[in-house]
Amino acid sequence: MVATASTPTPAALRALHTTVIGWYEGNARDLPWRTPDASPWAVMVSEFMLQQTPVKRVLPAYAAWLERWPTPAALAADAPGEAVRMWGRLGYPRRALRLHAAATAITEQHDGAVPDDHAALLALPGVGEYTAAAVASFAFRQRHAVLDTNVRRVFARAVTGVEYPANATNAAERRTAHELLPATDERAATWAVAVMELGALVCTARGPECGACPLFAECAWQRAGCPPYQGPARRGQTYEGTDRQVRGKLLAVLRDAHGLVEQGRLDVVWPDAIQRARALDGLVADGLVEPVGPGTYRLPQ
């Protein structure tokens, strides 16, 4: 494609954009955060939730969250522990605290309106490079390189010709993403979501459906004969037996309790006392659980 070492010509870029955006228009999923009436706050909530949780699990949580907290000010008025409770089983619950902190900053510093400026978004607590670009792009239709895991995988294969991207986003990927951006805001915003959708639906991590891919004829990885990945070991997603699993079990007790929880109720969730104590210490250190006395805990107030 999508040639690599040299910058693609403007005509090649336009053809690429037309191909991918055309595919998107015919294949995009109908998701609530993509509808015209989705507020910038709704887009921000979806981006926090989608970072490490699949769409199917996010959908009901997203709807419930926005019904309870339709604005940043509504969330900021509640305790952070309520955000942790509503986060439920989406996983990686520190995102709930970060979203609450962002809502508080938006309420206090931006009159309750999600800022449309990329730098202002990036300055919000809990908002990193990806989320700032995604909200600016999807909610405000601006031109930004939006590099999530799906986009990075598509570029790794179609542009660079390797099966998987590096473990962490690097300068070369950012350069590629910028080079491929359409010139106008509106088209760049559509391009961003279109490449992301292609990665989510077709160029998937384990079973890319290359025969159904609009980039098949030009894909660098295909043209190289689909060489297997040869980089450093990829991060695994093991869960069973990890501290993450123990943290999830402890937090579930606190979420369901609606009040103070005595140590004894936590001690029964996991047999290994050392691992259990380590997981609880971690939850306290992360601000997800508050000790309120000897052996008594609650969600943060």
In angstroms, give the least distance from the CB of 274 to ligand SF4.
44
Residues in the chain: 301
Nearer to ligand SF4, 27 or 39 (CB): 27
197 carries an active-site annotation: no
99: region left, alpha or beta (phi > 0 left; psi from -120 to 50 alpha): alpha
Site string for ligand SF4, 124-143 (x = CB under 6 A): --------------------
Which residue in 236, 232, 238, 237 sits closest to 166, CA to CA? 232
The count of residues interacting with ligand SF4 (CB under 6 A) is 13
Does residue 300 belong to the site contacting ligand SF4 (CB under 6 A)?
A: no
145: Cβ contacts below 8 Å, ≥ 6 apart:
133, 174, 177, 178, 181, 192
Site string for ligand SF4, 220-239 (x = CB under 6 A): -xx-----------------
In angstroms, give the least distance from the CB of 201 to ligand SF4.
10
Amino acid 100 reads: H
Quick check: 81 and 301 in contact, CB under 8 A? yes
Query: How far is Cα 154 from Cα 244, in angstroms, rounded to an integer?
Result: 29
Nearer to ligand SF4, 215 or 250 (CB): 215
In angstroms, give the least distance from the CB of 148 to ligand SF4.
15
In angstroms, give the least distance from the CB of 172 to ligand SF4.
18
Site for ligand SF4 in 202-221 (CB under 6 A): 202-203, 208, 210, 213, 215-216, 219, 221
Terminal Cα-to-Cα distance of the chain (whole angstroms): 53
Give me 126's structure tokens. Answer: 């809990």
Nearer to ligand SF4, 219 or 254 (CB): 219
In angstroms, give the least distance from the CB of 130 to ligand SF4.
21
Indicate the burial class of 210 (C-beta count within 10 angstroms; 0-12, 13-18, 19 or more).
Answer: middle
Site string for ligand SF4, 186-205 (x = CB under 6 A): ----------------xx--
Among candidate residues 25, 47, 129, 197, the one labeled active-site is 47
Amino acid 170 reads: N
Indicate the burial class of 55 (C-beta count within 10 angstroms; 0-12, 13-18, 19 or more).
Answer: middle
Nearer to ligand SF4, 127 or 203 (CB): 203
HEC per residue, 80-93: HHHHHHHHCCCCCC
Site string for ligand SF4, 12-31 (x = CB under 6 A): --------------------
260: Cβ contacts below 8 Å, ≥ 6 apart:
292, 296, 297, 298
In angstroms, give the least distance from the CB of 27 to ligand SF4.
13
Nearer to ligand SF4, 188 or 203 (CB): 203
Site for ligand SF4 in 143-162 (CB under 6 A): 154, 157-158
Nearer to ligand SF4, 103 or 202 (CB): 202
Give me 208's structure tokens. Answer: 């890319």
The residues carrying an active-site annotation are: 47
Q: Using CB under 6 A as the criterion, which residues of the chain lie in contact with ligand SF4 when the complex forms?
A: 154, 157-158, 202-203, 208, 210, 213, 215-216, 219, 221-222
